[in-house]
Amino acid sequence: MKKASILAFSIMLVGLFASCTANRGFVSSLTRADIRQVQQFEPLNYVGIIEKGNNISYNDSLTDVAKSLFEKELSRSKTIPVKGNIVIEDSLVNNRVQNEIYLLMNYVENNVRTKDLPIPPTIDSILEARNERFGLLAYNWGFTRTGGNYAGQIGKGVLIGVLTMGTMYTVPYKDMSRCGVIIVDSKYNNLAYVATSNRESDPLKAETYRRQMEDLLKKYKK
C-alpha cells in the first residue's frame, strides 16, 4: 500500500473504531444458492501500534503477522465457494485495486447504502476480462498498544474520574480488530454480500480471526 494510503487509512481507522456498523448480509436479490464460484482478490491489511497517546502508527511486521493469520482463517472456511485467487503481477494495477478496495470498505464502514454501490472499475474490468462473475474482497484492520501506554491511559482515565467526581471516566481500547468481506457481482455491477466484524481483541492472535470469521459468515450460512 502506498504511504499516502497508509496515512489515510490511519486517520480513518480511529473514527471507525469509535463507531459500530451493522453486520448486514445479502444486500441484493441473490441468495447463497446463486453464488457458485468466487474468485478472491488479495485482502487489504492494516495493523498499527499505539506507543504514545492515542496515535496509531502503521507497522509492517505486525501487519504481516495479522495478514497471515487472517488469510489462513479465510482460506480454512469453505462456506464461500472460492475457486481461485486473482494474482495481479502489475504493481500499478495492484495498487489501484487495493485503493479501490480501501474506498469501497470506507463506504461500507460508514454505513453508506450498499445497494447503491457499484463495483469499482478496475476490479470489475479484471473479473470481466477473466470471464468471472463473482469476486471476494476482504480486509482486516487493527491495532494494539504497548503495555506502558495502556497502563498510562488507564491512569489518565482514573485521574479524570477523580477530578470530575465520577461524572466522566475514559476506558481506552487495549487492542482492536475489525474485519470485513464483500462479494461483488460483475454481471449486475453491484454488491451481493457484505459483512463486518468489530471485536476488542488482539489482532495478532489466531483466535481473534476464528471468532470474526464466524461473525462474517453467519448470515451467509443461513
User: φ, ψ for residue 117 (rounded to 5)?
Assistant: -95, 125
DSSP 13-55: HHHHHTS------B-SS--GGG---EEEPPPEEEEEEE-STT-
Of residues 165 and 222, the one with the higher pLDDT is 222
In the chain, % of residues over pLDDT 90:
54
Could you tell me the end-to-end alpha-carbon distance of the chain, in angstroms, rounded to an integer?
A: 35
pLDDT in tens, 89-122: 999 999 999 999 988 888 888 777 787 789 999 9
HEC-encoded secondary structure of 150-168: HHHHHHHHHHHHHHCCCCC
CA distance 218 to 213: 8
Task: Give the pLDDT confidence score for residue 57 in this predicted structure.
Answer: 83
Task: Give the pLDDT confidence score for residue 221 in this predicted structure.
Answer: 81
Number of C-beta neighbours around residue 119 at 10 A: 22
In the chain, % of residues over pLDDT 70:
78
103, 120 Cβ separation under 8 angstroms: yes
Using the predicted structure, report yes or no on whether residue 146 has a pLDDT greater than 80.
Answer: no
Using the predicted structure, report yes or no on whether residue 6 has a pLDDT greater than 60.
Answer: no
pLDDT in tens, 174-214: 888 999 999 999 999 999 999 999 998 999 999 999 999 99
